[in-house]
Every structure is written in structure tokens, then in C-alpha cells.
Amino acid sequence: MKPPLHRKMLKSIHDVYSRDETFLDFLAQDLDDCAAWFNSSEFARFHDIDGVKILSVFTGDKRTQSINIHVDGTTPEGITKSRGILFCRAQEISGVNAEQPLRVDGKMYTVSEARLIQDQVWRIVLEANN
């Protein structure tokens, strides 16, 4: 007689946690193995970032924000701002700072925010004028 599924699941969970590995260990292993996030057949794609092809996750914000610029008191120009978020492995890209320009897939963006998550993954918020 086979053990019930929930017993198999509990044993698997116990086996994982009995190795004394932390979440960061699993995250590092996942990043090295390209098992989930940076798997090119799942979420990630190769994007041209400042002339270098890097396996990363890039999500664009479909909403746009109008920027009202008045020239000599006339009607505003039709300029909008779009946003995107780029996730890259820290080993793939060196330091990124707010306000620096960054070209992604041929489009020029300005870095609005750059944060290194657990010293493993960059989360970069990008903005561009359309």
C-alpha cells in the first residue's frame, strides 16, 4: 500500500529543511541553475542591456503618464512617460544608480530606482519619455 500523498509531501518538506539550508541558499541555487525566474523557457528572456545580451526579466507598464509641457503658454505637447521594471542577476550587471541612462532593447530609459535584493538580484525601475 502506497503512503498517502500528504505524507509524501511532508517527507519532502522535511528532507528540504533538514539540510540546514536557508532561503538565501535556495535563492542562490535557483539563480545559478536558472531553475525558475531566470529560466529562458519560463519568465526570462535575453535582453540587450547597453549592448550586452543578458538573461533577465523585463516587465513593461502599459499605463502611461502624461507630462504637460507648455511652450510659450500654448497647448501642452503630447509627451507621455512609460515605466518598466528590469530584474537581472547581480553577477550579470555591475552597479546601477538612480538617474543614470540605460538602453534596453534599443530604447533609452532613465533609472528611476535601483535596488539590489539580497545581494543576488537587481530590481531596476526604468522610465522613458514616449
Domain match, 51 and 115 both: yes
β-sheet bridge partners, residue 114: 124
Q: What are the DSSP calls for 87-128, one per residue?
A: EEETTTS----TT-EEEETTEEEEEEEEEEETTTEEEEEEEE
Domain match, 61 and 9 both: no
d(Cα 16, Cα 11) in Å, to the nearest integer? 9
Q: What does each C-alpha distance from 37 to 15, 107, 109 come to in angstroms?
A: 23, 24, 23
List Cβ neighbours of 118 (8 Å cut-off, separation of 6 or more). 24, 27
Question: What is the chain's pLDDT, residue by residue, as a tens digit (130 residues)?
Answer: 555 655 666 666 666 666 666 666 666 676 666 666 777 777 789 999 999 999 998 987 655 555 555 556 555 566 677 888 999 988 888 888 889 999 999 999 999 999 988 888 899 999 987 7
| pLDDT at residue 10, rounded to an integer | 63
Q: What does each C-alpha distance from 120 to 28, 54, 65 come to in angstroms?
A: 7, 15, 31
Burial 113-123 (b: 16+ CB within 10 A, else e): ebeeeeeebbe
What single-letter amino acid sits at 49?
Answer: I
By residue range, what is the domain housing residue 103? 40-129
| pLDDT at residue 78, rounded to an integer | 61
Domain match, 53 and 100 both: yes
Structural domain tally of the chain? 2
Domain match, 121 and 59 both: yes
Domain match, 55 and 29 both: no
| pLDDT at residue 70, rounded to an integer | 55
**For residue 130, which of 73, 44, 75, 65 has the smallest C-alpha distance?**
65
